[in-house]
Chains A and B, each alone.
Chain A
Amino acid sequence: MATRIGMEVSIAAAEAVKQANVDIIAAYPITPQTHIVEHLSELVNNGELDAEFVPVESEHSAMSVCSGSSAVGARTFTCTSSQGLALMSEIVYAVSSLRLPMLMILANRSLNSPLSIWNDHSDVMSIRDCGWIQLFVDNGQEVYDHVFIGFRVAEDRNVLTPFIINLDGFVLTHVIEPIEMLDQKVVDRYLPPYQPLYRLHPDHPVSMGCFGPPVLFTEAKKAQDEAMNKTMPYIIQGWQEFGDLTGRYYHPVETHETEEAKIIVVTQGSLGETASIAIDTMREEDEPVGLVKIRLWRPFPFEEFEEAVKGAELLVVMDRAISYGGPGGPLAGEIRSALYHQERHPRVVNFIIGLGGRDVAPDDFAQMVQQAKARPGEWYEIYGVRE
């Protein structure tokens, strides 16, 4: 039966990867992702996980090893953060175009410079358009669960798209939380071994990664875009079946106190947990505020989002990354364009917060909501800057 134990979130993630019975792990150390792969290499070297652990010489090679192993049909895992993601990004784009399923856990951390090992979302936002399914989790249980969900969806023959789980560095990776582990039998039922549609094997030679002349390139890209949009029902199905087995149901967009809410705070990742505390306090003070957490980032859940913010007059959107010289943070930009077709859409105010590990407390949310109410129009602001 399922048991609940206190565990560091990174260790829980690694335990899930073990239970998913991966065949290959390739990774290169970078804080705050390290505990995940350290634990995995221990599991491999102790014979608790039958997998090849390939200790590569760089993240670029980690992702390249993953491309080769996924291409031969092996269940493939990697993990990185920040500069590591930036270094591997060339190949991150290549594997999704090659339709090679794999799972990557991204322990989110800011990008240089100044050098910071702490959390924000500037790393993942730099590869927003990389063609992977991408989602955010709020806590350790969600990371653990999404390892199974991620592999299951990525390897589905109707999907064949790599999958990124974003979890906030340190504030999640390094904390101890109660985790309900799944019985191995449940995992095996939910996640059968990967059956590739095409694989590199001499019995059926295929060419992968050919060169695309102009007459075909656009068509290939259109097919990729359509395939990405078609992943949505399989992601939802993956969540549904996971929920039926475990009682834990997930959704593209998750809401807290949104009924009758005139003001909605929008977050991604672990900030949602802090925000919900603030929302509860504000509700007690009769502020009509609710919370919408964007779990699924790609494909973007346009319909679900619209439904979730229906009736709101003001959206207060929290970004943990800056789009320099742009119209605000990447999440706010996305949300504005998601609502653009509506005749009357809510006012969108954007705060950029929590950069490079800057703490965000419940009180900050109350303040941001007050500021957004007080000032008219649509704008963005980097919150809490000491002048």
Chain B
Amino acid sequence: MDTYLDRLGVYAARLVPQKEYLVPGHRACQGCAEVLALRLVAKVLGRNNIIASATGCMEIVSSPLPLTSWDVPWIHVAFENTAAVASGIEAGLKALMRKGRLPKQKITVMGMAGDGGTSDIGVQALSGAMERGHNFVYVCFDNEAYMNTGIQRSSATPFGASTTTSPAGKVVPGQTTWKKNMPEICAAHNIPYVATACPSYPFDLMEKVKKAADIEGPAYIHILSVCPTGWRLAPELAIHAGRLAVETGVFPLYEVERGKYKLSVDLPELRPVEEYLKIQGRFRHLTPELIDKIQQRVQEEYTKLKKKVQMTNEG
């Protein structure tokens, strides 16, 4: 089995496409890993790509009139309907090409939204689009809260995190629920490709995007996107935090290709979650008991995931 490090050797920086489709000049915060992830995704999808974007940080930072950061066709309609807008783009192109009114050509359609736009308000439209089998790539940029409206909790906010609507109070210590497992929800739709990624592992991320674009049918990529502003983290630690999320097992990197699970980085041993939690202000208030509770849960989930890998690859 190839490990991440083995695969790293295959790549050299000069093999990464130089051309940017999310061009410099956007207005994201310093150290924003979400915009970095978006930039990498756009690089891979390249010129023949149409993007439907949800409302959220990435829309706001990339499209203040009269400017635009986009060198590919891009549309924003609303917050919760990205997957439906992408469905319309895909179906429209299909009809026009079939009827000979547009030259036949491969155009990737991408839907993109934050964790709120995906796992909360947009989940219905996404589920509908995946069920109908549209040929598109959906990317969730998961910064674990509603950052665009000021760091409110979402269903992807991790247990214990302090946000402006799940503040660490004297009685309730931050978010009281566990992170909704969006990749699993998508995998349950039996779509051909589901993956998790993180820009701290750029080549892995890019390879997954490429795969998603090449696969016929819906593909879903869930990208952990560190947000220094919302996570109360120094900007220069964004990449480091993403690596710790993976190395502690908090955010495992894996793929589900036609039902088969595969770990992208198989860690024989996980680092303690405390290393990940302690560098972030949003977890500052956690007691050793709560950290233990999180540690246990992470271990359980990781074991479950490994079992799925085993089960789906047997025989």
Q: Provide 27 A-B residue pairs closer than 8 Å at the C-beta atoms, listed in order of the A residue.
A: A52-B91, A52-B92, A54-B132, A60-B125, A61-B81, A61-B84, A61-B124, A61-B128, A64-B77, A64-B81, A64-B125, A65-B87, A68-B52, A68-B87, A72-B50, A74-B92, A91-B81, A193-B101, A200-B73, A201-B73, A202-B47, A202-B48, A205-B74, A207-B68, A207-B70, A211-B65, A213-B65
- Chain A residue nearest to B73 (CB atoms) is A200
> Count the A-B residue pairs with Cβ separation under 8 angstroms: how many?
171
Digitize B191-222: 1 where CB-to-A-CB distance is under 8 Å, 0 elsewhere.
Answer: 00000000000000000000000000000000
Cβ-defined contact, B76 with A202, below 8 A: no
- Chain B residue nearest to A55 (CB atoms) is B132
- Chain B residue nearest to A98 (CB atoms) is B77
- Chain B residue nearest to A53 (CB atoms) is B91
Cβ-defined contact, A211 with B60, below 8 A: yes
Complex Cα–Cα for A192 and B132 (A):
30
Given the contacts A52-B95, A74-B95, A202-B49, A94 and B87 also touching, CB distance less than 8 Å: no
Cβ-defined contact, A91 with B78, below 8 A: yes
List 5 extra interface pairs beyond A24-B91, A71-B92, A208-B75, CB under 8 A: A24-B92, A57-B128, A68-B89, A207-B75, A209-B75
B286 interface residue (CB < 8 Å to A): no
B96 interface residue (CB < 8 Å to A): yes
The 9 closest A-B CB pairs, nearest first, are A68-B88, A69-B92, A57-B128, A64-B84, A74-B92, A64-B81, A65-B88, A209-B76, A61-B84
Cβ-defined contact, B73 with A56, below 8 A: no
Q: Which of A72-96 contact B (CB under 8 A)?
A: 72-74, 76, 90-91, 94-95
B94 interface residue (CB < 8 Å to A): yes
Cβ-defined contact, B65 with A212, below 8 A: yes
- Chain B residue nearest to A202 (CB atoms) is B48
Q: Which of B71-119 contact A (CB under 8 A)?
A: 71-78, 80-81, 84-96, 98-99, 101-102, 107
Q: Which of B49-76 contact A (CB under 8 A)?
A: 49-50, 52, 59-60, 63-66, 68, 70-76
B299 interface residue (CB < 8 Å to A): no
B280 interface residue (CB < 8 Å to A): no
- Chain A residue nearest to B67 (CB atoms) is A210
Complex Cα–Cα for A94 and B76 (A):
10
Complex Cα–Cα for A74 and B78 (A):
20
Interface-centre pick from B65, B71, B92, B127 (highest chain A CB count, 10 A): B92
A141 interface residue (CB < 8 Å to B): no
Q: List, in ascending order, chain A residues with CB within 8 A of B98's CB.
A: 50
Cβ-defined contact, A67 with B77, below 8 A: yes
Complex Cα–Cα for A3 and B84 (A):
40
- Chain B residue nearest to A220 (CB atoms) is B65
A51 interface residue (CB < 8 Å to B): yes
Digitize A201-243: 1 where CB-to-B-CB distance is under 8 Å, 0 elsewhere.
Answer: 1101111111111001000100000000000000000000000
B125 to chain A, nearest CB (A): 5
Complex Cα–Cα for A125 and B48 (A):
42
Q: List, in ascending order, chain B residues with CB within 8 A of A91's CB.
A: 77-78, 81
Cβ-defined contact, B75 with A69, below 8 A: no
Cβ-defined contact, A54 with B87, below 8 A: yes
Cβ-defined contact, B85 with A202, below 8 A: no
Q: List, in ascending order, chain A residues with CB within 8 A of B85's CB.
A: 64-65, 67-68, 71
Cβ-defined contact, B65 with A67, below 8 A: no
Complex Cα–Cα for A207 and B68 (A):
7
Q: List, in ascending order, chain A residues with CB within 8 A of B70's CB.
A: 205, 207
A66 interface residue (CB < 8 Å to B): yes
- Chain B residue nearest to A50 (CB atoms) is B99
Q: List, in ascending order, chain B residues with CB within 8 A of A73's CB.
A: 92, 96, 101-102
Q: List, in ascending order, chain A residues with CB within 8 A of B75's CB.
A: 67-68, 71, 98, 200, 207-209
A23 interface residue (CB < 8 Å to B): yes
Interface-centre pick from B84, B85, B86, B98 (highest chain A CB count, 10 A): B84
B24 to chain A, nearest CB (A): 16
A residues engaging B (CB < 8 A)?
Answer: 23-24, 26, 50-52, 54-58, 60-61, 64-74, 76, 90-91, 94-95, 98, 193, 200-202, 204-213, 216, 220
Cβ-defined contact, B84 with A202, below 8 A: no
Cβ-defined contact, B84 with A207, below 8 A: no
Cβ-defined contact, A72 with B81, below 8 A: no
B106 to chain A, nearest CB (A): 10
Complex Cα–Cα for A13 and B94 (A):
25
Q: List, in ascending order, chain A residues with CB within 8 A of B89's CB.
A: 68-69, 71-72, 200
- Chain B residue nearest to A75 (CB atoms) is B95
Cβ-defined contact, A68 with B84, below 8 A: yes
Given the contacts A23-B95, A201-B73, A202-B73, A64 and B47 also touching, CB distance less than 8 Å: no
Q: List, in ascending order, chain A residues with CB within 8 A of B47's CB.
A: 202
Cβ-defined contact, A24 with B95, below 8 A: yes
- Chain A residue nearest to B46 (CB atoms) is A202
Complex Cα–Cα for A213 and B93 (A):
32
Q: List, in ascending order, chain A residues with CB within 8 A of B90's CB.
A: 68
Q: List, in ascending order, chain B residues with CB within 8 A of A205's CB.
A: 70-74
Complex Cα–Cα for A69 and B52 (A):
12
Cβ-defined contact, B124 with A58, below 8 A: yes
Q: List, in ascending order, chain B residues with CB within 8 A of A95's CB.
A: 77
Contact partner, B92, options A58, A68, A193, A202, Cβ 8 Å: A68
Cβ-defined contact, A72 with B93, below 8 A: yes
Given the contacts A68-B87, A68-B92, A200-B89, A57 and B125 also touching, CB distance less than 8 Å: yes
- Chain B residue nearest to A212 (CB atoms) is B65
Q: List, in ascending order, chain A residues with CB within 8 A of B84's CB.
A: 56, 60-61, 64-65, 68
Complex Cα–Cα for A90 and B95 (A):
26
Q: List, in ascending order, chain A residues with CB within 8 A of B52's CB.
A: 68
Q: List, in ascending order, chain A residues with CB within 8 A of B63's CB.
A: 207, 209-211
B42 to chain A, nearest CB (A): 12
Complex Cα–Cα for A100 and B66 (A):
19
Complex Cα–Cα for A334 and B69 (A):
43
Cβ-defined contact, B74 with A69, below 8 A: no
Cβ-defined contact, A66 with B74, below 8 A: no
Q: List, in ascending order, chain A residues with CB within 8 A of B87's CB.
A: 54, 56, 61, 64-65, 68
Cβ-defined contact, A68 with B65, below 8 A: no
Q: List, in ascending order, chain A residues with CB within 8 A of B94's CB.
A: 52
Q: List, in ascending order, chain B residues with CB within 8 A of A72's CB.
A: 50, 88-89, 92-93, 96
A37 to chain B, nearest CB (A): 15
- Chain A residue nearest to B21 (CB atoms) is A205
